[in-house]
Amino acid sequence: MSTPEKTTPKDGAEQELTSESKMTTPEEDSSAIVKDLGSEERQISESKMTTPEEDSSAIVKDLGSEERQISESKMTTPEEDSSAIVKDLGSEERQISESTMSTPEKDSTAIVKDLGSEERQMSEDLLAEEEDVMTKAGKQGNLQDYKAHVIAKFDTSVALQYDSPEMKVLSDAFKPDQKTFRPHTIILHGRPGVGKSALARSIVLGWAQGKLYQDMSYVVIFSVGEIKWTEKSSLAQMIAKEWPDSWAPVTKIMSQPERLLFVIDGFDDMDAVLQDEDDMTLSRDWKDEQPIYILIYSLLRKALLPESFLIITTRNTGLEKLKSVVVSPLYILVEGLSTSRRSQLILENISDDYQRMQVFHSVIENHQLFNQCQAPSMCLLICEALQLQKKLGKECTLPCQTLTGLYATLLFHRLTLREPSWGTLSQEEQITLVGLCRMAAEGVWTMKSVFYDDDLKNYSLKESEISALFHTKILLQVGHRSEKSSIFFHRSLQDFFAALYYVLEELGEWNQYFSFIKNQQSIMEVKRTNNIPLGMKRFLFGLMNKDILKTLEVLFGCPINLTIKQKLQHWVSLIGQQVNDTNPMDTLDAFYYLFESQDEEFVHVALNSFQEVWLLINQKMDLTVSSYCLQQCQNLKAIRVDIRALISEDNTLELCPLVDLQKKLHKPLKECWKNFSSVLSTHPNLKELDLGNSILNKWAMEILCLKLGNSSCSIQKLMFKNAEIESGLQYLWKLVSNPNIKSLNLGSTPMTDDDMKLACDALRHPRCSLETLRLDSCELTLAGYEMISTLLLSTTSLKCLSLARNKVGENSMIYLGDALRSSECSLKKLILDGCDLPPESCHVLASALFSNQSLTHLCLSNNNLGTKEVQQLCQVMKTPECALQRLILNHCNIVDAAAYGFLALILSSYRKLTHLSLSMNPVGDNAMKLLCEALKEPACYLQELELVDCQLTENCCEDIACMIPIAKHLQSLDLGNNALGDKGVIALCEGLKQNTGSLRRLGLGACELTSKCCEVLSLVIASNSRLKSLNLVMNDFSTAGMLKLCCAFQCPATSLSVIGLWKQQYYAEVRKQLEEVQSIKPHVVIDGDWYSIDEDDRNWWKN
């Protein structure tokens, strides 16, 4: 690997500045959002600003291809911060904004003056004294010497056209316009590796070459990564150090601070030393000696040389910190290479069309790998690796579709072995390689990318030996001749070597060869992968590839038995075990890390614990990675897939204009979707597939339904709730002929009469075994209800039908009633939640319940039911013909006490009713007393009573307490969101103490409980052996109260297996005790989402 001629290091890497940077001005806390609406198009915003008190934003829209537009914006007072977010979405065009600032009216911090003719006059004696000293020393301190020094330092690594639009933005940034003052601080921000440092170096070089900032007398660059922060110095000494031979006319330089520009490269590397900046005493004298970080901080705060100008580079992650430090900044987003330029750099040296297409598939279509190519140096590394893989041919067994595989190929096969006949590194070579890896790891953990000669000595390293070992430049020399420093060719190389260290550290006792390293970090001590630096994490997984490990075994002449492999697998398995606490993006990230390994055995073990998965699919590569990993999730039972931004037409070829082959060689999006659908349809244990909220076009639905309709597909439950599938809905009905499909949810899918006809015809198919159909919010018509009525009389498989949130008029109810009354209708569960039922509906339903004994579950929630309607339902339940078992009447506005009297009467005598839900009705204490009396009756067989948010208070708790030990069949009672208070729960505990009832599940969530009831409640928990599930979320327990409850949870006598609590709500001491509970009793579930644990078909009516 050779050093690129026209690149320069960025964050430890050489990168050519070809980035596209855009700029606006901070005006009234506003930002210009630039959006790309098509390839090869550019748009520019024009924004105007008002007073600093106002908020505004410029929304920039695309004006067409081949157009450039310049935005002019004005800046407000220095108190305000804003940034222009400018995105490059793939064209070769530039988008430029010209910005100016408004007059700072109330800036009490930065005193910035444009002196003009009032330039400071330096005293003649100081100038004479400085010139006399330099003359006697034989030093001229000539400005031209300094410029020549800068050109010699940077000219070989920076290549930029200074008349380009990018540089025009920067060159005009400090210029005043009309009556406004110019900004004195510019922030260049962007992702790692996009060329921010290259841009900083080019600024200094441009000034030295007479092409940029010629109104500045002096431009000085400070590279943060090269500075030793704890050393004391003065600003004068720091400037002199940048001067050739360290002889700088400092007095002359400081005499005109308004013509002095400081470029501070890599602010984010200062984070470690700026933790206590509030207590920092700022320096205001350029001759004052202070720790260097105080001097830099004083420059940023404009305490030191406030008239001077600053350009600062930082990663996006360092912006928030920087905003609290700088005064009235102007932000410029550096985006890096355009997608077209990246494609050209990667493919321009490949002449064979077929090989170009292979590279296109493995690199450019791999968005995670392609996004790494933000600078020419990175493109160069990938190109060299691909060319080496081609040269090696079948000899190269390492994966080519991952960055780890490419780097492993590039580095391992470039090693110059001293014992080539053995194929093994000598001990000296092993020490050099391990030392390099350890230094890289040390730097990653401490955010250090610049290494001095002392650092290399600590790791027994010599740059010449490293270059000889790899036959290429791994480290690049930067800094002064008097104090040289080194950086990795690219920051990603440092991450690679850092990860490699944790593979090699188990192969021997290497510490004896290195000096003491105080910041050494053990991967085995890290509890979660979130704590591992992102770049290194990727390579850690990639190095688990068996072919890479075999190569390392050959190089070191011994087998590798990795404990780190088990650690990585354990980290991934935790995601599978904590489904409810896992963000879907975390799961997809884990899949990408596993894909990096390209080792199926390793991936299979890591994913063995996964039974449920939630994925967000937005790009083609997401499909490829997910397909690869899902095949290894052999115990997977349920998957939720959100496909939000997957384009309907494949346009990836537009990113690669150099590739001009027949489409048969191109791997289209359809093929990736087809492979993904095949994985879903052939998975042996997958039973549930949720595509809710997804956007699927016609061909996507056609492919998916074709695969899922195959009899080999074992999926039983299929959900499309809130999905956009209308264009391909006709294909959906073909898959219901798969006898394995038992449940279909089409919630919020508009169903036309034609759609309903296709659906009903499909459901009557002899092979259709569908048992549950949800048509919630499907905009059904009267004709649709008529077709449903006919369907219910002609199918025997359909057992559950939900028509929730569809308006059911009088005629629609007549159609449904005709079917429900028929003995030919085998429907068991009917959901009419929120259907705006007409008054006669309950009469129709009562008639159906009397005539048809198959209907056992009825949900009428969110409909207004008066006393008459409730009475009609209760009267039919008195008859022996009625088979109703579960009745859901949530939020039905039942206000009359007589209605509750009818319900209480039925409970006391109707033995078939086992579940009743009256949540969100104003039951009140008096009606609750009636219900309690009914529950005491021996003839009452009610097993579950839901009374959430029913306006109950402590006054009814004694009645409930008396009922609990007597009600022999009541197993679940939910009193959540009622103001029971501590007194009410203490009263309830009197009934629970008796331990003679059947209650297994008790809901006390949001009942206004405090620690005052914890003593009594903990005694009940510890002594009641029947209680299995308890909900305590959203109550105000103190730490002391929670510790009492935790002791009860740990008690051997308690039978609690489900506890509703938000662990994150409490301090570390409580969280530790809750974790101890689960450690002692692994079967115990402690979860804030208590209702998600569905037992005994409790939530059958829910979506």
φ, ψ (nearest 5 deg) of residue 287:
-95, -10
Mean pLDDT of 215-244: 84
Give the highest mean pLDDT range of 62-71, 78-87, 681-690. Answer: 681-690
Q: What digits encode the pLDDT tens for the residues 722-739?
A: 999 999 999 999 899 899
Mean pLDDT of 2-8: 35
Residue 476's H or E segment, with its range, is strand 475-479
CA distance 513 to 504: 14
Give the highest mean pLDDT range of 319-323, 507-511, 1005-1009, 1083-1087. Answer: 1005-1009
Helix axes 669-682, 620-630, angle to 10 degrees: 20
Neighbour-count burial of 463, counting CB atoms closer than 10 A to its CB (0-12 exposed, 13-18 middle, 19+ buried): middle
pLDDT category of residue 986 using cuts at 50, 70 and 90: very high
- Is the distance from CB of 598 to CB of 406 less than 8 angstroms? no
Predicted local confidence at residue 60, as pLDDT:
28
Q: What digits encode the pLDDT tens for the residues 1030-1081?
A: 999 999 999 999 999 999 999 999 999 999 999 989 999 999 999 999 999 9
Predicted local confidence at residue 655, as pLDDT:
44
CA distance 670 to 184: 52
β-bridge mates for residue 514, sequence order: none
Neighbour-count burial of 5, counting CB atoms closer than 10 A to its CB (0-12 exposed, 13-18 middle, 19+ buried): exposed
pLDDT category of residue 453 using cuts at 50, 70 and 90: confident
* Amino acid at the residue 3: T
Predicted local confidence at residue 653, as pLDDT:
42
The CA dihedral of 267, 273, 279, 285, to the nearest 10 degrees, is: -60
Weakest-pLDDT range from 61-75, 513-527, 569-583, 613-627: 61-75
Q: Which residue has the higher pLDDT, 731 or 251?
A: 731
Weakest-pLDDT range from 196-200, 599-603, 632-636, 1031-1035: 196-200
pLDDT at 17 > cutoff 50: no
How far, rounded to the nearest angstrom, does the alpha carbon of residue 501 sit from its chain's CA centroid? 28
Predicted local confidence at residue 161, as pLDDT:
52
pLDDT category of residue 23 using cuts at 50, 70 and 90: very low
CB atoms within 10 A of CB 396: 20
pLDDT at 76 > cutoff 90: no
pLDDT at 696 > cutoff 80: yes
CA distance 348 to 343: 8
pLDDT category of residue 155 using cuts at 50, 70 and 90: low
pLDDT category of residue 51 using cuts at 50, 70 and 90: very low
Predicted local confidence at residue 143, as pLDDT:
86
Mean pLDDT of 104-124: 39
**21-23 vs 32-34, strand pairing mode:** unpaired
Mean pLDDT of 830-838: 96
- Is the distance from CB of 711 to CB of 736 less than 8 angstroms? no
Average pLDDT, the chain: 79
Mean pLDDT of 464-473: 81
At residue 289, the 3 state secondary structure works out as coil
pLDDT at 376 > cutoff 80: no
CA distance 390 to 796: 62
For 819-908, strand residue ranges (E) read 829-831, 857-859, 886-888
CA distance 711 to 86: 50
Predicted local confidence at residue 342, as pLDDT:
72
Predicted local confidence at residue 273, as pLDDT:
62
CB atoms within 10 A of CB 107: 16
- Is the distance from CB of 273 to CB of 267 less than 8 angstroms? no
Q: Which residue has the higher pLDDT, 375 or 751?
A: 751
Structure tokens at 306: 């406030």
Percent of the chain predicted with pLDDT > 70: 75
Predicted local confidence at residue 1075, as pLDDT:
93
- Is the distance from CB of 1094 to CB of 1029 less than 8 angstroms? no
- Is the distance from CB of 740 to CB of 769 less than 8 angstroms? yes
**Nearest residue to 195 via CA among 339, 318, 24, 334:** 334
For 929-1000, strand residue ranges (E) read 944-946, 972-974
pLDDT category of residue 608 using cuts at 50, 70 and 90: very high
pLDDT category of residue 874 using cuts at 50, 70 and 90: very high
Predicted local confidence at residue 272, as pLDDT:
58
CA distance 1083 to 259: 71
Predicted local confidence at residue 129, as pLDDT:
53
Predicted local confidence at residue 513, as pLDDT:
58
pLDDT category of residue 674 using cuts at 50, 70 and 90: very high
Helix axes 782-792, 810-821, angle to 10 degrees: 0
- Is the distance from CB of 722 to CB of 748 less than 8 angstroms? yes
Mean pLDDT of 564-582: 85
pLDDT at 991 > cutoff 90: yes
pLDDT category of residue 180 using cuts at 50, 70 and 90: low
**290-291 vs 232-233, strand pairing mode:** antiparallel
Cα separation of the two ends of the chain = 59
**DSSP state for residue 174 in the 8-state scheme:** T
Weakest-pLDDT range from 431-445, 591-605, 1030-1044: 431-445
Mean pLDDT of 480-489: 70
pLDDT at 950 > cutoff 90: yes
pLDDT category of residue 963 using cuts at 50, 70 and 90: very high
Q: What is the SS3 string spanning 869-911?
A: HHHHHHHHHCCCCCCCCEEECCCCCCCCHHHHHHHHHHHHHCC
